[in-house]
Amino acid sequence: MQKKNTTDDGAGNIVQKVITSICFYVLLILLWQAIYTLGTGPLGWWKSYAMPNPLGVVKSLRKLIVNGTLLHATTYSLRRVLIGFAVSLLIGTILGLLVSASKFLNRNLKPLMNGIQSLPSVCWVPFAILWFGLKESAVLFVVVIGSTFSVALAIENAISTIPPIYRRSAATMGATTVQMYTNIIFPAALPGFLAGLRQSWSFAWRALMSGEVMSAYVGLGYSLMAARDMADINQVTAVMLTIIVIGILIDRCVFSALERRVLRSRGL
């Protein structure tokens, strides 16, 4: 009976949280509508075509869904970011391991990596266009360069936070270098690496939008600029909200879920 009550309480808490979240977003939309009505009406802060409104955004979103533009653009964007992020994950992991294993590289290369990572991804677009032209490879280059150093820094930071006693104990028991990495370093660094991977994903997603805005012919970033050229502020907002929602869903459903699973398996 006690177990049933506990389960019921847990389900009730989930329902309450869902209702609270729905109410919050409904109030947010109502506030948005009120600001639009007052700003374009009595207060005269801006013109109606310069300020999006909830109803107009819904209509634009529906139009994009019905004509297939949103699905087409989303498919291209997700394909690009998955390919680019996979490449950056491979390169960044190798680079991070080298930096963590070499004091010389850690002292000299890590500050440079931090500096490059702080550079906005849009700064790489001119290089991408000059080197690759207005092609798919230009967008992929921006994604890779925008997230590789974040992955490398995540690897290095995760390894650097491992307690030294782990390595000393393994060395005392005669562990080889391969055994040290496979049995000690990689498992101990995994939670920290997954936390850094979430940030690396956000860098890749933002880098993709920078590349698509400047050089792509299809994708969410391109749809954003196409709506801007048509001076359709509601469609601009609809595409922006789509980009936000996709980013949140991937973060919550993939990276957060994986991180929680790893932490839970370790009693954390």
Q: Between the ranges 1-5, 202-206, 228-232, where is the mean pLDDT highest?
A: 202-206
Q: Two tokens at 106?
A: 């850690």
Per-residue confidence band for 77, with pLDDT thresholds at 50, 70 and 90: very high
pLDDT of residue 10: 58
Model pLDDT for residues 167-194, shown as the tens digit of each residue: 888 888 887 878 888 888 888 888 888 8
Which residue would you say has higher pLDDT here, 203 or 189? Answer: 203
Of 135, 134, 145, 126, the residue nearest 208 (C-alpha): 145
* pLDDT at residue 226 is higher than 60: yes
Model pLDDT for residues 102-159, shown as the tens digit of each residue: 889 989 999 999 998 888 888 898 899 889 888 888 999 999 999 999 999 999 988 8
Residue 154 near residue 200 (C-beta atoms within 8 A): yes
Name the amino acid, one letter, at 163: P
* pLDDT at residue 247 is higher than 50: yes
Spatial separation of the C-alpha atoms in residues 133 and 129, rounded to whole Å: 4
**Distances in whole angstroms, Cα of residue 140 to Cα of each of 20, 86, 127:** 40, 11, 12
Percent of the chain, pLDDT > 90? 34
pLDDT of residue 5: 55
Give the distance from CA 203 to its chain's centroid.
6
pTM for the model: 0.83
